[in-house]
Amino acid sequence: MTAPTTASAAPLPVRRAALLRALPEEQRWLIQDLWAAQAVGIVGGEPKCCKSFLALDMAVAVASGTPCLRRFCVNDKGPVLLFAAEDALHVVRQRLDGICRAAGLDLAALDVNVITAPSLRLDQADDRSRLADTVRALKPRLLVLDPFVRLHRIDENASGEVAPLLAYLRDLQRRYGVAVVVVHHARKGAARARAGQALRGSSEFHAWGDSNLYLRRMHDHRLVLSVEQRAARSIAALNVDLHAADQALALHIVDAHAPDAAPEPEREPAERILQALAVAAAPISLAEIREACRMRTARLCQALNHLVSAGRVLKAAGGYAMAPVDP
């Protein structure tokens, strides 16, 4: 007896590699050198290592278009959606206010939206549907979920239980073009392990992330931020500190030669940037400035951030332009 034949399925879509779209440098990053555009990933570390402060600093930076940690350019400003499962709403407000004051911003002017539901369970179909509906309605550039352990009642050590939850977040990213930051704890006693391997639970967490940020408290009490990228070169580790100034509590980068402040950029890069903007008839993009100045992106961003903070350069929808001179 001959087995019944079935209609063949349609072939999978393919495209020659040379015809795949190539993104310009500034479109590859949500936050230059820290978080890739539309990336999913982990902000990880042991308790009391300021993971939540880092995630909130990212939220303020993306919502305002100002540099994260006062150093790293934001290339795609937009709304932010945040769920803070461990902190009371007044604590979230207090922390956001402090970060805004440190960055010279007004929280009331920022499109930062906080989910106020008492709980959010990613292992519950109804909650997954509600979160997807919220993302679809608000269209955030960035979704922050803090921390993962409060978002489920599964066994974090079981790959078969963790993978579907992370796959759901990956699906949100792909469907709605949103970057996803998940705050997650490191294992106790894993200080000597590689940062990604020190994350609590299944190895799925480390494998899932496109961009991962890790905070560690060293034996000399220094707080160190490590960056790990799936598809880009990772920058060197940075010393950071939770600094309070005028009741503004926020993370700051600690430079070896200037512990209390970021270094002033050298004069020559700033002059080259101003010269490029002076001859432009309209605002120009980061890529156009880099091309005109022949400067590395990290060096350019540092000098450009300083010029924006000093009020000599304006960041507009079309790029950067010279600030008007007050007569």
Identical fold between 25-254 and 267-322 = no
pLDDT value, residue 117 = 96
Sorted by where each begins, the domain ranges of the chain are: 25-254, 267-322
User: For residues 292 and 80, what is the distance between their CA atoms, to the nearest angstrom?
Assistant: 32
**Contact partners, residue 116, CB within 8 Å, separation at least 6:** 89
* Beta strands 179-185 and 40-45, pairing class: parallel
Q: What is the pLDDT of residue 313?
A: 87
Q: Three-state SS for 286? A: helix
| The pLDDT of residue 194 | 65
Residue keyed to tokens 């007050």: 326
| CATH top class, domain 25-254 | alpha beta
Give me the tens of pLDDT residue by residue for the chain, a chain 327 residues long: 556 556 678 999 999 999 988 876 657 899 999 999 999 999 999 988 999 999 999 999 999 999 999 999 998 899 999 999 999 999 999 999 999 999 999 999 999 999 999 999 999 999 999 999 999 999 999 999 999 999 999 999 999 999 999 999 999 999 999 999 999 999 776 555 666 678 988 999 999 999 999 999 888 788 999 999 999 889 999 999 998 877 789 999 997 544 344 444 445 788 888 888 888 878 888 878 887 887 777 778 878 888 887 888 888 767 888 888 654
What pLDDT sits at residue 157?
93
The set of long-range contacts for 221-227, using a CB threshold of 8 Å and a minimum separation of 24, is 222/254, 223/49, 223/50, 225/54, 226/195, 227/33, 227/34
Give the architecture-level CATH label for domain 267-322: Orthogonal Bundle (1.10)
Q: What is the model's pLDDT at position 5?
A: 58
Which residue is listed with tokens 């759901």? 168
